[in-house]
Amino acid sequence: MNIQLSEHFTYKKLIKFTMPTIIMMIFTSIYGIVDGIFVSNYVGSDAFAAINLIIPGLMILGTIGFMIGTGGSALVSKTIGEGNLKRANEYFSMLVYLLLIVGGIFTILGVFLVRPISELLGATGGMLEDCVTYGVTLMIFLIPFSLQNCFQSFLIVAEKPSFGLIISVVSGVINMVLDFLLIKVFHMGIIGAALATGISQLVGSIIPIIYFSMPKDGLLRLTKAKFEIKAILQSCINGSSEMLTNLSMSLVNILYNFQLMKYIGSNGVVAYGIIMYVGFIFSGTYLGYSIGTAPIIGYHYGAQNTQELKSLLKKSLKLIIITSMVMTVCAEILSKLLASIFVSYDIELLNMTTRAIRLFSLSYLISGINIFASSFFTALNNGVISASISFLRTLLFQIIMIFLLPKVFGVDGIWVAVVFAEVLALIVSSIFLKANGKRYGYIEKTSQ
């Protein structure tokens, strides 16, 4: 029996409802890692470096799906909580149609911008051509990629998180099978890796479209809708933090690569790419939980159920703190094993990557609370606070640390930059949570 958004969530029910989304995010990270493993081991470290150099630039164009998915789901779940299901479906449909249009425009722009972006990032010679080949191929699949990210959030609003997990598993298995066939069997190299990713994204977007287009008794379905500027702006503002997070991560990754090229060279880019792949699994747990709880929070905010909001915040912080300690210990213990999956063929690179993972992984102790805090305010339809946390956490604080700490600690300063940034962001998140408690009702108005 499906758990409904309107229910009271115990720890058990909260974990049960969010677990499919957490597994989905982890599994999505795993099949992304498989891409890297095949490219690194069967195409070469230069091709692997090229992929990790261009991906941040490509992700900038793909942030629209995250923004509309998270921001739109906050608006739709709040509208459902207010008791207006018809209006909620109109908002949902409008946002999907908007994403199709904007995604098409971005696809055209992306195809023409891949080469200049690659050159701007410092790619030359064979690396430049690898960047262009990989980038142009992925740009062709930008609309499916954006839709897949968008539907991840809306399937939770539709009270179908398990179905979202099934879609993610299916598309992930397709990606991994195609990686094996196109890269190892047919020796298609970097274009094979891009096609494997793109085709899996296509499958991951088509299945939800079919589901939401079929007449059913579920919460959400695609229907006729007109474009409403106010609702679009509200969704964009709500989702601006998630878009900013992905945009900032892309920009920061570019800066990391610049600094690593300066201090170490291409091996540094490879090591950082491995950290990002590994980090996707750990941060994916926090993201999955935050995405999974956002519609619940949005619903109870719309229904003005402040007692449930207080309960959700308290339980969520406890779960995240416990999880963060477990995951940090796991990352420290497994650091060499994780690094060896990618670069066991190069001892020097293996040792450097292992140390980098150990230093970087200290951030997992803190990042979960910051990710949830930003998502919490998105669910409350306060995109300004959510975006502020994201901007400071993923952009401003990290940029400062990326350039400051290497002057003090050398290369290690690059690896621990994110740790210092997360500490500063935690202070900001705590201030926002405390300052807005009475406004939203998740903190008692009078002391008890």
300 pLDDT tier (thresholds 50, 70, 90): very high
Average of pLDDT values for 24-43?
A: 79
**DSSP labels for 398-416?**
HHHHHHHHHHHHTHHHHHT
CA angle, corner 356, sides to 355 and 360, nearest 5?
A: 120
pLDDT at 210 over 90: yes
Strand ranges for 138-240 from DSSP E: none
CA angle, corner 153, sides to 152 and 158, nearest 5?
A: 100
pLDDT digits (tens, 9 = 90+) for 122-142: 788 888 999 999 999 999 999
| pLDDT on residue 447 | 44
**368/390 Cα distance (integer angstroms):** 12
| pLDDT on residue 394 | 83
Structure tokens at 41: 């081991």
Give the chain's radius of gyration (CA, Å).
21
| Range of weakest confidence among 51-65, 110-124, 274-288 | 51-65
Question: Do 138 and 194 meet the contact criterion of CB atoms below 8 Å apart?
Answer: yes
pLDDT digits (tens, 9 = 90+) for 253-262: 778 877 887 7
Q: How high is the mean pLDDT of the chain?
A: 88
Average of pLDDT values for 295-306?
A: 92
pLDDT digits (tens, 9 = 90+) for 364-419: 999 999 999 999 998 998 988 988 998 898 889 999 998 999 888 988 898 999 99
Question: Do 171 and 204 meet the contact criterion of CB atoms below 8 Å apart?
Answer: yes
pTM listed for this prediction:
0.77
Average of pLDDT values for 339-364?
A: 86
**DSSP labels for 204-241?**
HHHHHHHHHHS--SSS---------HHHHHHHHHHTHH
| pLDDT on residue 411 | 84
Structure tokens at 337: 């094993």
pLDDT digits (tens, 9 = 90+) for 65-115: 888 988 899 899 999 999 999 999 999 999 999 999 999 999 999 999 999
